Amino acid sequence: MKRAGLFWAGILALSASVCWAQGGPDKVCEINVVRAKAGNSKALEDARKKHNEFHKAEKDKQAILIWDVVTGPSQGGYLSAECGMGWKDLDREAFDQRDAADRAKTLDPMVGEQHTSYWIFRQDLSTATETTSPTKMMTVVHYFVKPSGLVQFNESIKRINAAIAQTKYPSKPSRWYALANGGEGPHFVAVTDRGSFADMQGPEQSMIDMLKQAYGNDDKTLQTLREAVDHTMSEMMNYRADLSYVPAK
């Protein structure tokens, strides 16, 4: 049994290293998805605005961006994102105590459900950068990857990005994140900014044809990617500037 335990510990460590592996220190997002208590969406929004006054009074330098989730399993909820942090930036015990005290008075009484998770920004897979100036909408595609397909998944995304750059394929840039803690994995998401529903329209040339243009008719990049993925899930979200906290510059 001890050998088996060591074996699985090694597999988990390998999975984590491939999920997060990239050059430089991690850039972390704390993501919270909340639902209001039944019938209390307006009260939750008002409480969110009031709690933002605490962050303003504290001169908090960390932006908190709020989104309405309009499709997918979390439809009807709110997503808050605090991104661009290092792991050490989360070690702020005194602030967290004051924050928790204010939340207990303002926000928490209106929350019915909450799920917290931490994500690593995968700059090596991304074609877009992180921003504190969101567009009107964004789409999020979740990829639940087979542990045996982690290497193939990472390499396939990089290969697709290289082909996009080579062929000047007019796809929308995306930010990639890997789950570090707070759910089932290996789990990656591709986040794409959308200014309107018209931005959902893809290029006239298919990705398959683009990859053939870059690598030849026998290219198997998409096949390799599909074989690495167990299943996917997609969501759409609307940015709520009125509920977000963006520190003064």
For the segment 136-175, what is each residue's pLDDT rounded down to a tens digit? 999 999 999 999 999 999 999 999 999 999 999 999 999 9
Residue 150, pLDDT score: 96
Residue 128 has phi, psi (to 5 degrees) of -130, 155
Residue 19, pLDDT score: 59
Residue 13, pLDDT score: 47
Scanning the structure block, which residue is given the tokens 């053939």?
Answer: 212
Residue 21, pLDDT score: 59
| Residue ranges in the chain modelled with pLDDT below 70 | 1-23
- Is this model's pTM higher than 0.75 or not? yes
What DSSP assignment string belongs to 175-237?
A: EEEEEEESSSSSEEEEEEEESSGGGGPPPSS-HHHHHHHHH-TT--HHHHHHHHEEEEEEEEE
Question: Residue 31 — left, alpha, or beta (φ > 0 → left; ψ -120 to 50 → alpha)?
Answer: beta
Residue 179, pLDDT score: 97
CA separation, residue 178 to residues 13, 20, 40, 121 (Å)? 15, 7, 32, 7
Q: Please state the domain extents for the chain.
A: 24-239
Residue 132, pLDDT score: 80
Which tokens in the block code for residue 102?
A: 């204010």
The structural architecture, per CATH, of the domain 24-239 is: 2-Layer Sandwich (3.30)
Residue 192, pLDDT score: 97
- CB distance 175 to 81 below 8 Å: no
Residue 131, pLDDT score: 84
Q: What distance in Å separates the CA atoms of residue 18 and residue 39, rounded to the nearest whole number?
A: 43
Q: At a CB cut-off of 8 Å and minimum separation 6, what does 171 contact?
A: 127, 164, 202, 203, 207
